[in-house]
Structure 1
């Protein structure tokens, strides 16, 4: 089974919409509106086309990941970072490494584009395998009311989180 990762294009939008809706349909900790979040983010200033990726198997889209711009701000400084939200895999393709491939490929592209960190809200047992750690370890706070262990960050460079402290400022599309 060959998994091909490529940049999403506009022709993919309907299939990606269906995929995201299906991927989150039975997830307990979900508002089941992730597909609408992706639509809003594509139209925002936070959107980076190179960081909206799909996974294909035999020309069928079976996974999607989106990374968008965000900021970490404190009283004196502002730091650019990325939000990983969401990563989606068709339920019948779970456990085949598709999510892992999307995450590692998105990390590689983000680093190549000059980004130094990525933040997410996700499962505390899944994302640490990709280097994610609680944001609280770095004095970074989330505006959402989520358990501390579910808000995580990864540094894409050796000193990507050096002196980064503050509150995460998500694009307004996350709150609509």
Structure 2
């Protein structure tokens, strides 16, 4: 998290924390990302303390994060994850010709949610720099 917070793609207002009685029980982070030259957001990490899982904390964090992202006028949010995220409107990025990079041309886990009606983005997705190792490989 420290590496992400020090990245130029970090947006403090899109780092959300769930708390109960001064205890952090979950968090979500949305950071700047690019698809081609189109700026949007990457969702992740998302974490909920084990003892609070299956209590819709994650759902609430995602819902609130997406609402804030739309308020900041970002056009899309992307993530790598499974079918869980389809309930929030995420769909396969491959459908739109969006890939992580040329080394991962058919990653079935890359998902995208458009926050408006513009779906005219395609190409390689680039997360903020903190998501890559020193060789430029996605962590």
TM > 0.5 fold call? yes
Larger radius of gyration between Structure 1 and Structure 2:
1
Tell me, yes or no, if structure 1 residue 174 matches structure 2 residue 131: yes
Separation in 2 of the partners of 1:147 and 1:164?
17
TM value normalised by structure 1: 0.71
Root-mean-square deviation (Å):
1.5
Shift in Å, 1:146 = 8.7
Q: Report how many residues are paired.
A: 132
More helix by share: 1
Separation in 2 of the partners of 1:147 and 1:137?
10
Shift in Å, 1:148 = 3.0
In structure 2, what is the equivalent of residue 81 of structure 1?
A: 40
Shift in Å, 1:145 = 4.0
In structure 1, what is the equivalent of residue 99 of structure 2?
A: 141
Tell me, yes or no, if structure 1 residue 53 matches structure 2 residue 10: no
**CA spacing shift, 1:147–1:40, aligned 2, 3 Å:** same
Do the aligned residues in 1 keep the contact of 2:78 with 2:111 (CA within 8 Å)? yes
Shift in Å, 1:172 = 1.9
In structure 2, what is the equivalent of residue 21 of structure 1?
A: none
Do the aligned residues in 2 keep the contact of 1:134 with 1:148 (CA within 8 Å)? no
Do the aligned residues in 2 keep the contact of 1:135 with 1:152 (CA within 8 Å)? yes
Q: What are structure 2's unaligned runs of at least 5 residues?
A: 134-139
Separation in 1 of the partners of 2:11 and 2:57?
21
In structure 2, what is the equivalent of residue 130 of structure 1?
A: 88
Do the aligned residues in 1 keep the contact of 2:27 with 2:61 (CA within 8 Å)? yes
More strand by share: 2
Do the aligned residues in 1 keep the contact of 2:32 with 2:128 (CA within 8 Å)? yes
Shift in Å, 1:147 = 6.3
Aligned counterpart in structure 2 of residue 164 of structure 1, from 101, 104, 121: 121
Bigger RCO of structures 1 and 2 (CA < 8 A, at least 6 apart): 2
Q: What are structure 1's unaligned runs of at least 5 residues?
A: 1-37
